């Protein structure tokens, strides 16, 4: 390739060199070479000192990393005009990923010296480079963090994605039934759904559905071990997707109770099994059978990686005021608190609602009603569960098929005293013989209740009305918890199947913005598709969404396996420490409010720089005035923003009498207002007060080093007198950001942390 062609290629095809001065370009190509790479040849290797910058002229390459078990994870694809090597050259770090030729590649190679003296000394290039890196990170994040290969047609991440094909089994073991789902990430068409019912009696039956059709088989009376054998026979049989159980690479297990320790799905080892066993006391109907299923599956699929996915994890974002019971605090410290269940279902249908509304998931206020044999309502505030009707166990909240739901706790004591009932009797009473069954006196099946009610059966009518009334009451409570509702979702067997329940549950909610279109409601085919059942005028979009907990478990299983790779990167010993900054209360003002508070023409006066470039604390302070009191000397931060935002800690919230939600900076919809007072006047904002979510700022280079992306959620460990773990820390990536963790004053005070303390990123908790 002639030098003139190289210069021409760089100037016209490589974005970085657009408008690059011709003289510099000429000098650059004089010092550049052209090299070719054969298919599968490493152009750059992970961990090497990198001394080159390259621009791909012909061929295709990938950027990838390989985990300990040899699985390759693709981060990006390179085509002609794309370049590589800039990250390590700019940061001085070792190469953080392999660049591998997929086809025969030709590249223009520029050495470190030429790159540093001619390229990085040209400010527009540095700007372009920073922007490109941040765009790349952002793009990956908006694609669900699944890597640059992911198509933009699945922004909510419903497809099961893996870099190399994975055959995956999802198991949901109940006391008398076992559900199994098989997925092949390379061929979703090969999915198989199976259920074995009535295990342990004479009516045991296996039903398996795939694209090849449905297969129903009666099985001899047997136990769970026999059910496992029957499942393997069905999966490896003539119509099955497998020839041997060894082809299964991963097994995702649904586990009901994850207690306080499990904030996310986890690879199963002995310690995880032991904790699930310990939690059996809290979910005696579920955890022991889940665990038996795990143990059996680990024996039958010894080569697969097993992952536990918990029903409770989704609700670990509940704030203390939502998860505390009114018992003495010591009991909360012993783990007696609200946990919430049906997490996979609530998360799935909420994502589906966001997809239907074509809105970002983390901008919405959603009330999800999972109404099946078990039933719960969940308030999902800007992507985070903030309250739910089930509690310490799945017995609390709504009336269910056979569960009583919420009772006056004194009723149980009364029954112990007057009827001599013991613990087991009460357990049976509230879990097995109450709810629809107890009230109707004959069935827990909503279809039979509705049929009987239609025929005038009084107790069936009562059961139906009580059920619907409770749903309506909990919907109201969930809306009140968030202060708004964009979407109301019905799911679960009853939620999807019963137009009557949906209709009655929504009646009288017009003032809350819920107006059902009865025709659409009656016509909804809730088991087949997402159905919109509200009128166009309804402020709240009401949807019927077929739930798919199994897909969600499969997705979490894949993400967990991928996470274990990120986790190994995070835990590398040479990772940088994260400086902690304690955010005191502060306000960001709009231009308009600067003028209103400090007078016409006023310009904010910088007082000191903040750690994040371009941000500064100002000389100006304001007073905040709430319904209850005032807080003086609240520092103004600059530069001015589009909208005024007030960030205050819990003690100040109390002083002011304001109750803001935990939010990301800038996410101000449906937040409370406050009055601000400055030397030139007062301003009352109707919204804008938030309690900032814990977050880490980092640059794209830091993000790559940790294997993280924008909007991932991590846990941070701080060593002090005692070790502290801060969970639910949102990662924000931007080229202007310097690595730091921002903590709220109250939180830092409670933990005895001062600015300047350092922490380590301990674990990845969740991906965007």
How many residues touch ligand AMP under the rule CB under 6 A: the total is: 11
Residue in 50, 317, 498, 560 binding ligand AMP, rule: CB under 6 A: 498
CB 668 within 8 A of CB 687: yes
Which is nearer to ligand AMP, 521 or 564 (by Cβ)? Answer: 521
Q: Which is nearer to ligand AMP, 321 or 527 (CB)?
A: 527
Of 122-130, 272-280, 440-448, 647-655, the segment contacting ligand AMP by CB under 6 A is 440-448
397 near ligand AMP, judged by CB under 6 A = no
Active site residue 82: no
Residue from 373, 466, 503, 755 binding ligand AMP (CB under 6 A): 373
Give me the least distance between CB of 506 and ligand AMP, in Å please. Answer: 16
Cα–Cα distance, 492 to 502 (Å, whole number): 12
Judged by beta carbon, residue 367 or residue 761, the one nearer ligand AMP is 367
Three-state SS at 565 = helix
Contacts of 568-576 spanning 24+ positions with Cβ under 8 A: 568/67, 568/68, 569/705, 569/706, 569/707, 570/706, 570/707, 570/708, 570/714, 570/761, 570/762, 570/763, 570/764, 571/762, 575/705, 575/706, 575/760, 575/761, 576/702, 576/705, 576/739
The nearer residue to ligand AMP, 145 or 526, going by C-beta atoms, is 526
For the bound state, the minimum distance from the C-beta of residue 448 to ligand AMP, rounded and expressed in Å, comes to 7
Is residue 497 within the footprint of ligand AMP (CB under 6 A)?
yes
Nearest-approach distance from CB 292 to ligand AMP, in angstroms: 21
Q: Smallest distance, Å, CB 401 to ligand AMP?
A: 5
Find the part of the chain contacting ligand AMP (CB under 6 A) among 283-291, 492-500, 607-615, 705-713.
492-500
Q: Which residue has the tokens 């052209």?
A: 34
Task: Spell out the residues 6+ positions from residue 308 whose beta carbon is closer than 8 angstroms to its own.
Answer: 253, 255, 258, 262, 265, 266, 268, 272, 276, 294
492 contacts ligand AMP (rule: CB under 6 A): yes
Tell whether residue 435 is a contact of ligand AMP (CB under 6 A): no
- Per-residue tokens: 21: 């001065």
Tell the smallest beta-carbon distance from residue 449 to ligand AMP (Å): 8
Q: CB-hemisphere CA count at 13 Å for 221? A: 3
Residue 698: how many other CB atoms lie within 10 Å? 26
In whole angstroms, give the CA distance from residue 437 to residue 605.
Answer: 69
Site string for ligand AMP, 73-92 (x = CB under 6 A): --------------------
Q: Which residues contact 140 (CB under 8 A, 6 or more apart)?
A: 75, 146, 147, 148, 709, 710
The alpha carbon of 70 is separated from its chain's Cα centroid by a whole number of angstroms, namely 27
Residue 101 pairs with which residues in a beta bridge? 61
3-state secondary structure 496-521: HHCHHHHHHHHCCCHHHCCCECHHHH
Binder of ligand AMP out of 447, 451, 628, 669 (CB under 6 A) = 447
| Catalytic residue, candidates 82, 163, 311, 548 | 311
CB of 545 to ligand AMP, least distance (A): 12
User: Does the footprint of ligand AMP cover residue 369 (CB under 6 A)?
Assistant: no
Angle between helices 287-300 and 224-236 (to 10 degrees): 50
**140 vs 402, beta carbon nearer ligand AMP:** 402
Residue (of 583, 697, 594, 556) closest to 649 by Cα position: 583
Pattern 662-701, ligand AMP, x by CB under 6 A? ----------------------------------------
- The span from the CA of 420 to the CA of 519, in Å, is 51
Q: Tell whether residue 494 is a contact of ligand AMP (CB under 6 A).
A: yes
Verify binding: residue 268, ligand AMP, rule CB under 6 A: no
Smallest separation, CB 500 to ligand AMP (Å): 8
Backbone phi and psi for residue 692, each to the nearest 5 degrees, phi listed first? -70, 135
- Rounded distance between C-alpha atoms, residue 17 and residue 358, angstroms: 37
Q: Which residues of 134-145 are buried (b: 16+ CB within 10 A; e: fewer)?
A: bebbbebbebbb
Which residue among 144, 372, 546, 700 contacts ligand AMP (CB under 6 A)? 372
What whole-number distance in Å separates Cα of residue 290 and Cα of residue 280? 10
Q: Give the one residue of 145, 259, 438, 493 binding ligand AMP; rule: CB under 6 A.
A: 493
Stretch that binds ligand AMP, among 283-291, 319-327, 488-496, 583-591 (CB under 6 A): 488-496
Cα dihedral across residues 241, 243, 249, 251: positive or negative = positive
446/553 with CB nearer ligand AMP? 446
Alpha carbon of residue 635 to chain centroid: 33
Residue 546 binds ligand AMP (CB under 6 A): no
Using the minimum distance from each CB to ligand AMP, give the nearer residue, 17 or 490: 490
Q: Which is nearer to ligand AMP, 497 or 661 (CB)?
A: 497
The SS3 assignment for 491 reads: strand
CB of 211 to ligand AMP, least distance (A): 23
In whole angstroms, how close is the CB of 451 to ligand AMP at the nearest point?
Answer: 9
Interface with ligand AMP, residue 401, by CB under 6 A: yes
SS3 324: coil
Closest to ligand AMP by CB, 403 vs 687, is 403
Sheet-wide strand order for 266-267: 213-218, 205-210, 192-197, 178-184, 167-173, 250-255, 305-310, 266-267
446 counts as binding ligand AMP under rule CB under 6 A: yes
For helices 409-419 and 423-432, what crossing angle results, to 10°? 130
Give the binding range for ligand AMP (CB under 6 A) out of 48-56, 266-274, 439-447, 654-662.
439-447
Residues 637 and 692: their CA atoms lie apart, in Å, by 15
- Min CB(549)–ligand AMP separation in Å: 10
Residues numbered 329 to 348 that lie near ligand AMP (CB under 6 A) are: none
Q: Is 637 in the site for ligand AMP (CB under 6 A)?
A: no
CB 10 within 8 A of CB 53: no
451 binds ligand AMP (CB under 6 A): no
- In the complex, minimum distance from the CB of residue 445 to ligand AMP, in angstroms, rounded to a whole number: 4
Three-state DSSP class for residue 748: helix
| CB of 386 closer than 8 Å to CB of 317 | yes
3-state secondary structure of 214: strand
CB nearer to ligand AMP: give 401 or 513: 401
Kindly indicate which of the ranges 8-16, 96-104, 187-195, 444-452 contains the residues binding ligand AMP, using the contact rule CB under 6 A: 444-452
Least gap, CB of 199 to ligand AMP (angstroms):
17
By C-beta, is 435 or 513 nearer to ligand AMP?
Answer: 435
Residue 491 neighbours by CB under 8 Å, 6+ apart: 345, 349, 368, 369, 370, 371, 526, 544, 545, 546, 547
Region of 76-84, 196-204, 445-453, 565-573 interacting with ligand AMP (CB under 6 A): 445-453
Footprint on this chain of ligand AMP (rule: CB under 6 A): 372-373, 401, 445-447, 492-494, 497-498
Residues with catalytic roles: 311
């Amino acid at each position: 390739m002639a030098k003139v062609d190289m210069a021409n290629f760089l100037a016209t095809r490589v974005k970085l060199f657009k408008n690059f001065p011709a003289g510099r370009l000429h000098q650059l190509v004089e010092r550049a070479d052209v090299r070719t790479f054969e298919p599968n040849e490493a152009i750059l290797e992970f961990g090497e000192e990198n001394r080159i910058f390259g621009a791909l002229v012909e061929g295709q390459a990938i950027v990838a990393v390989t985990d300990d078990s040899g699985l390759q994870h693709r981060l990006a694809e390179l085509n002609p005009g794309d370049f590589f090597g800039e990250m390590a050259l700019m940061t001085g770090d070792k190469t953080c990923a392999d660049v591998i030729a997929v086809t025969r590649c030709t590249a223009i190679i520029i050495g470190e010296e030429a790159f540093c003296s001619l390229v990085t000394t040209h400010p527009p290039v540095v700007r372009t480079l920073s922007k490109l890196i941040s765009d790349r990170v952002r793009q990956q994040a908006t694609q669900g963090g699944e890597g640059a290969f992911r198509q933009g047609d699945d922004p909510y991440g419903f497809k099961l994605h893996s870099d190399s094909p994975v055959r995956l089994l999802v198991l949901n073991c109940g006391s008398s039934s076992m559900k199994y789902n098989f997925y092949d990430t390379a061929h979703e068409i090969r999915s198989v759904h199976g259920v074995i019912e009535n295990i342990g009696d004479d009516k045991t039956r296996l039903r398996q559905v795939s694209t090849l059709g449905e297969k129903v088989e009666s099985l001899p009376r047997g136990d769970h071990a026999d059910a496992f054998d029957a499942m393997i026979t069905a999966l490896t049989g003539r119509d099955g997707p497998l020839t041997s159980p060894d082809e299964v690479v991963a097994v995702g297990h649904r586990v009901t109770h994850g207690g306080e320790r499990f904030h996310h799905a986890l690879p199963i080892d002995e310690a995880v099994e032991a904790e699930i066993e310990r939690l059996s006391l809290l979910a005696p109907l579920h955890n022991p059978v889940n665990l038996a299923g795990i143990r059996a599956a680990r024996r039958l699929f010894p080569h697969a990686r097993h992952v536990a996915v918990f029903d409770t994890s989704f609700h670990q974002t509940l704030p203390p005021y939502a998860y505390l019971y009114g018992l003495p605090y010591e009991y909360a410290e012993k783990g007696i608190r609200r946990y919430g269940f049906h997490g996979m279902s609530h998360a799935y249908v909420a994502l589906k609602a966001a997809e239907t509304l074509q809105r970002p998931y983390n901008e919405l206020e959603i009330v999800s009603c999972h109404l099946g044999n078990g039933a719960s309502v969940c308030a999902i505030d800007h992507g985070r569960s903030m309250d739910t009707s089930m509690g310490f166990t799945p017995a609390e909240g709504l009336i269910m098929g056979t569960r009583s739901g919420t009772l006056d706790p004194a009723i149980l004591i009364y029954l112990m005293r007057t009827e001599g009932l013991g613990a087991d009797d009460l357990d049976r009473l509230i879990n097995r013989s109450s709810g629809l069954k107890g009230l109707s006196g004959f069935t827990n099946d909503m279809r039979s209740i509705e049929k009987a009610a239609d025929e005038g059966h009084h107790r069936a009518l009562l059961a139906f009305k009580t059920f619907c009334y409770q749903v309506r009451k909990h919907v109201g409570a969930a809306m009140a918890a968030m202060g708004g509702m964009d979407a109301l979702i019905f799911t679960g067997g009853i939620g999807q199947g019963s137009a009557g329940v949906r209709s009655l549950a929504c009646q009288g909610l017009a003032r809350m913005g819920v107006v059902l279109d009865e025709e659409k409601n009656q016509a909804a085919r809730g088991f087949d598709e997402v159905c919109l059942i509200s009128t166009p005028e309804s402020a709240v979009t009401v949807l019927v969404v077929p739930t798919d907990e199994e897909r969600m478990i499969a997705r979490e299983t894949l993400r967990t396996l991928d996470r274990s790779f990120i986790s190994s990167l995070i835990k590398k010993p040479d990772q940088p420490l994260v400086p902690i900054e304690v955010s005191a209360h502060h306000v960001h003002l709009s231009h308009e409010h600067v003028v209103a508070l400090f007078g016409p023409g006023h310009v904010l006066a910088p007082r000191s720089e903040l750690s994040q470039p371009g941000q500064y604390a100002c000389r100006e302070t304001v007073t905040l005035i709430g319904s209850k009191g005032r807080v003086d000397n609240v520092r103004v931060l600059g530069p001015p923003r589009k909208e005024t935002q007030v960030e205050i800690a819990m003690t100040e919230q109390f002083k002011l009498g304001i109750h803001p939600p935990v939010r990301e900076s800038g996410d101000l919809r449906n937040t409370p207002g406050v009055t601000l007072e400055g030397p030139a006047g007062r301003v009352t904002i109707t919204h804008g007060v938030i309690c900032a979510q814990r977050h880490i700022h980092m640059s794209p280079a830091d993000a790559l080093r940790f294997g993280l992306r924008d909007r991932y959620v991590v846990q941070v460990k701080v060593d002090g007198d005692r070790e502290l773990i801060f969970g639910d820390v949102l990662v924000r990536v931007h080229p202007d950001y310097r690595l730091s963790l921002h903590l709220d004053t109250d939180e830092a005070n409670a933990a005895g942390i001062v600015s300047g303390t350092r922490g380590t990123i301990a674990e990845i908790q969740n991906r965007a």
